[in-house]
Chains A and B, each alone.
Chain A
Amino acid sequence: MDKKYTRFSAEEFAQDTNFIKWVKKGTDQKEWERFIRENPNLTQDILTARRILSALHFNPKDLQDDAVYTIFKNIDSFHSKRHKIKRTIRFREILQYAAIFILLISLGAAMSIFIVGRKGGVNPQMAILPPNNNEAKLILSGGEEIILKEREPELQFNATGNLIKIDRDSIINYNKKPDQDAMAQVVIPYGKRSTLLMSDGTKVWLNAGSKLIFPQKFSGKNRKVFLQGEAYFDVFKNKGSPFIVSSDNLNVTVHGTQFDVKNNNSDKDIEVVLVEGAVSLKEKGVMNLLSKEIRLIPNQKAVYNKADKTTNVESEVDVAYYISWKEGLLEFNRESIVNVFNRLSKYYNVSFITERSVELNRKISGKLDLKESLEEVMKVISDAAPVMFRIEKNKVFVINKINNLPVR
């Protein structure tokens, strides 16, 4: 404790920064208690100073939480418009590819959310399960498995499908003559992403937790691939051979141009977003003749509900929002926290455990850089939402921010 305090008057105490911190926040409580015991003559002054400070306090006004978010939404959309020019430029670069679309297909059971009961379910917490911790691998048409060690492996097939380049240096010379339409597979676990150039010249970005099955060498009338998870396709134009992406029970056919397909994290929907050109969606099944085909025009999004087999089409969606992951960004526009955590658990291969009081449906907006560490990303979230976090190994514990009084 500073010696100067032994000569302080009540007025001086009341204006001293350390004294104010003690009175308001209990900072250095023990030191001040000792100081009072050692200087009983100052008791009166200290007590007076405390009374003065308490008389000079203002009550904070109540404000509805909603308002904070409503206003932010206005500000944020103004911000987006103001900075749209930049975004358009970035988007152009993407549009230079021959044909682009994203396909995001059901993530299935791996992404489940469940309630953990604690002490007889008295205080259940919400947990997002850690995704399976498999290795990324390439499985060639003959069944050979190649483990991919990089965090973002790059694969390239040559036109005949028998030379495979993995990352910068390793090249596999595949001597077995691939059978007609023999299928290869790329499996990408959570926490990784990958790019793949297929033998027809189509480039694919595979997102975390995805699997793509494709002919090692394309031939025949159709170019058909099978996808589980999420992928972004840059389709090589070939009018004679339409490109078809097949998922659970939906076929997406590319009509020579650019589009974008997405499936929600929940395994209920498949979403298709068209960037440019035309695509059509068609349900699979024996009743093929009866199921109708849905065509999309640019900037439209189709949402196919797997359970009741219905499709909704939305116009003028923000395409950049759906493909930001490919650039290593995660963009949210009024997304619920639980969805954000779901996505992050995929990218960083971690599980989220949240306190019951955390408002999982609270909507947040923003952009996260997935090249940053999880810690940095979580800091951004804890600024946008009233939560605090602690990372332990591959678990992220999330609790509500403690609302410290006095309002600053």
Chain B
Amino acid sequence: MKANDSEIWESFKVGDKSALSYVYFQYFHSMFQYGIKFCDDQEFIKDCIQDVFLNLIQAGEKLGPTENIRFYMFRALKNTIYKSIEKRNRDKIAEFIPLKFDAPFALEEEIAEKENASNKETALLNALNCLSHRQREIIYLRFECEMEYDQICEIMELQSDSARKLVFRAIRSLREIIDAELKLPILFLIQFSQKHVL
């Protein structure tokens, strides 16, 4: 499917309707999930996605080529969210507000709901709390979206290789905590992996 992306994109540019519906239905969901992490306002993100498409359709053949539509759409969405927030805040605050990847990990939500979290859980929660917005975003793009590091750096305007370093640091901090709690026999691991539990 990836090899086909540039062809689909060329059809999209010249106004092919089936290319439009392909791109839309293929990427709407992942765009929404990515966008909602910056601003937990469904209506706002939906509007932003709509704007992305309207702008792309408007630009038509003036658009550049791409070999990875999802990457292109993510970058376009992020720009649109940024501009829309800027527009919304224009009257209120004059200062620069960076776009924050402001979403909790599933585990953070889970532990926060519990009344009696264990020591281990609290330790893990603390470690996760220490992860910055940037680290969260890289982790999301890398582990949930399986995006390549160079693309992540481009979307996030990072120096090449710094995304990889930030992920490594996050993983090492978690490793120390998890290592301390795990002293388990092999048998358990095999059962564990058979269930493919995440």
Which residues of chain A have a CB within 8 Å of any CB of chain B? 10-11, 14-15, 17, 20, 23-26, 29, 32-33, 36-37, 40, 43-44, 46-48, 50-61, 63, 67-68, 71-72, 74-76, 78-79, 82-83, 86, 365-368, 380, 383-384, 406-408
Bound Cα distance A52, B57 (Å): 41
**Residues of B contacting A365 with CB < 8 Å?**
21
**Residues of A contacting B196 with CB < 8 Å?**
23, 25-26, 29
Closest chain A CB from B104 CB (angstroms): 8
Q: Which of A26, A83, A367, A384 contacts B25 (CB 8 A)?
A: A384
Nearest opposing residue in chain B for A60, CB measure: B33
Are B42 and A61 touching (Cβ within 8 A)?
yes
Bound Cα distance A76, B190 (Å): 50
Bound Cα distance A53, B106 (Å): 11
Closest chain B CB from A79 CB (angstroms): 5
Are B18 and A79 touching (Cβ within 8 A)?
no
**Residues of B contacting A367 with CB < 8 Å?**
17-18
Q: Is B109 an interface residue (CB 8 A)?
A: yes
Number of interface residues of B (CB under 8 A): 58
Q: Is B90 an interface residue (CB 8 A)?
A: no
Closest chain B CB from A365 CB (angstroms): 7
Closest CB pairs A-B (n = 5): A26-B196, A83-B15, A59-B106, A75-B53, A51-B178
Which residues of chain B have a CB within 8 Å of any CB of chain A? 15, 17-18, 20-22, 24-26, 28-30, 32-33, 36-37, 42, 46, 49-50, 53-54, 57-58, 60, 103, 105-107, 109, 124, 128, 139-140, 143-146, 167-168, 170-172, 174-175, 178-179, 182, 184, 186, 189-190, 192-194, 196-198
Are B37 and A58 touching (Cβ within 8 A)?
yes
Are B179 and A48 touching (Cβ within 8 A)?
yes
Residue among A23, A40, A75, A407 with most chain B CB within 10 A: A75
Q: Which of B42, B103, B128, B198 contacts A24 (CB 8 A)?
A: B198
Are B186 and A40 touching (Cβ within 8 A)?
yes
**Residues of A contacting B58 with CB < 8 Å?**
82
Bound Cα distance A264, B60 (Å): 35
